[in-house]
Amino acid sequence: MSLVKDALDGVKATFTGLATTFREMVSPPVTIQYPEEKRPVRTRFKGRHVLKRYDNGLEKCIGCSLCSAACPADAIFVEAAENTDDERYSPGERYARVYEINMLRCIFCGYCEDACPTEAIVLGDNYELSFTSRRSSIYTKEFLLEPVPEGGKPTPQKVEPGVYTRSVPVMKDPED
């Protein structure tokens, strides 16, 4: 009895296993053809930082260094300088002349994003962060800045005097 039963169980088990195999044979594949093909990230994914611009092309970053102060990994280096109306990078007096993130140190905690008073630094979707040397692990401002939006002008801009006197725009409280 038990022998027969054992044999039957064995067969059953085999087919149960094969059923999975056959099912997976016809279901769509999980793997994608990375890097030709890319999977979308979750909405709250924290990827590589992007430095944002206003619609007119001015940089949102005002060089306040609060991101750098907030960074627990000491990955961010900011060096500010003074804007003039002839050579304006951002609204207000101060802009980031140098903005660097050492991606070897970054832990993607997003504190920089939280600390930013102008919503200039945003952790984006990009997770492709390979580099071949320590030197190239330091992402510069030119690299991090998003492209000039349509209708905007690249920085530095020559602007009307007295228009961009405020560093921090009046922002509504976040609603979510």
Interface with another protein includes 51 (CB under 8 A)?
A: no
Interface with another protein includes 102 (CB under 8 A)?
A: no
Contact of 154 with 53, CB cutoff 8 Å = no
- The interface region with another protein, picked from 15-23, 101-109, 145-153, 159-167 by CB under 8 A, is 159-167
Distance CA 106, CA 127 (A): 12
Q: Least Å distance between CB 154 and another protein?
A: 21
Q: Which of 58, 64, 67, 101 is the binder for another protein (CB under 8 A)?
A: 64
Residues in the chain, how many? 176
Q: Least Å distance between CB 32 and another protein?
A: 40
| Closer of 65 and 157 to another protein (Cβ) | 65
Q: Least Å distance between CB 100 and another protein?
A: 7
Interface with another protein includes 164 (CB under 8 A)?
A: no
Interface with another protein includes 63 (CB under 8 A)?
A: yes
Q: Least Å distance between CB 87 and another protein?
A: 14
At residue 130's C-alpha, the angle toward residues 42 and 132, to 5°, is 175
Asked if omega into 156 is within 30° of 0 (cis), the reply is yes
Interface with another protein includes 171 (CB under 8 A)?
A: no
Segments of 27-93 assigned E as strands: 49-51, 76-82
Q: Is 30 exposed, middle or buried (0-12, 13-18, 19+ CB in 10 A)?
A: exposed
Interface with another protein includes 156 (CB under 8 A)?
A: no
Q: What residues from 65 to 84 belong to the interface with another protein (CB under 8 A)?
A: 65-66, 68-69, 77, 79-82
Which amino acid is it at 113?
E
Tokens of 60: 């949102």
- What letter does residue 117 receive in the DSSP assignment? T
Backbone φ, ψ for residue 57 (5° rounding): 100, -15
Interface residues with another protein (CB under 8 A)? 62-66, 68-69, 77, 79-82, 92-94, 97-98, 100, 117, 165-168, 170
